[in-house]
């Protein structure tokens, strides 16, 4: 059984997308998911409880002790508000999701900064996490075009839809020790397992 930790601090919408995708995937019986949060009142912990997923409040100061004391296949960050220290990242494999096409717009407020800059292409990146902001080997990226008439709210919504589509598939491939390929993104009809258009705008 492969242990997957999902580490978050906030609303948990992306966490829910990951759980629903993996629960319907062919490797569902091979993984054990645990939700971890540094915010005891976070929605992500409430979502985990509602979804029947193991969950735990994990204060930031206890991260090293926890990860060093557990044998896990993968930890993925999903809306986590703090930067993990280098010694923690040495305990295993960590993935991160960033709402830009790295190395562009590293750090906080990437969606707003990309939009305000006037770039016509942005997107989402999944990468291995290092102690360098926006660093680590890139596993997958997918673009979104920003039209001259695109409103910020539309762009932000497209980014979040793309995050919920791309991240679960990449996580599945990493757990399977397989290379992510763009054909994997569309194997379910540009909507993962749900089928249909996700509305991410990536095909336009």
* Catalytically active residues, by annotation: 98
For residue 94, say if its preceding peptide bond is cis, omega within 30 degrees of 0.
no
Cα(8)–Cα(120) distance, integer angstroms: 30
Nearest to 36 by CA among 76, 85, 89: 76
Contacts of 138 (CB under 8 A, 6+ apart): 102, 125, 126, 127
Distances (CA, A) of 24 to 31, 33, 119: 12, 13, 37
CB-based burial of residue 26 (10 Å sphere; 0-12 exposed, 13-18 middle, 19+ buried)?
A: exposed
């Amino acid at each position: 059984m492969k242990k997957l930790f999902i580490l978050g601090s906030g609303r948990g919408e992306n966490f829910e997308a990951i759980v629903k995708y993996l629960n319907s995937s062919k490797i569902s019986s091979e993984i054990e998911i645990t939700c971890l949060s540094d915010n005891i009142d976070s929605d992500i912990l409430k979502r985990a409880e509602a979804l029947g997923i193991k969950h735990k409040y994990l204060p930031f100061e206890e991260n090293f002790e926890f990860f060093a004391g557990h044998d896990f296949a993968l930890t993925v960050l999903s809306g986590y508000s703090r930067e993990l220290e280098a010694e923690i990242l040495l305990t295993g494999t960590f993935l991160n999701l960033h709402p830009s096409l790295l190395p562009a717009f590293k750090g906080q407020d990437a969606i707003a900064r990309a939009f305000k800059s006037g770039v016509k292409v942005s997107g989402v990146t999944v990468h291995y996490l290092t102690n360098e902001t926006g660093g680590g080997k890139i596993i997958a990226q997918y673009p979104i075009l920003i039209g001259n008439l695109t409103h910020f709210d539309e762009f932000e919504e497209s980014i979040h839809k793309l995050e919920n589509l791309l991240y679960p598939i990449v996580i599945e491939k990493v757990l399977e020790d397989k290379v992510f390929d763009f054909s994997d993104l569309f194997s379910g009809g540009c909507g993962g397992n749900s089928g249909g258009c996700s509305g991410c705008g990536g095909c336009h």
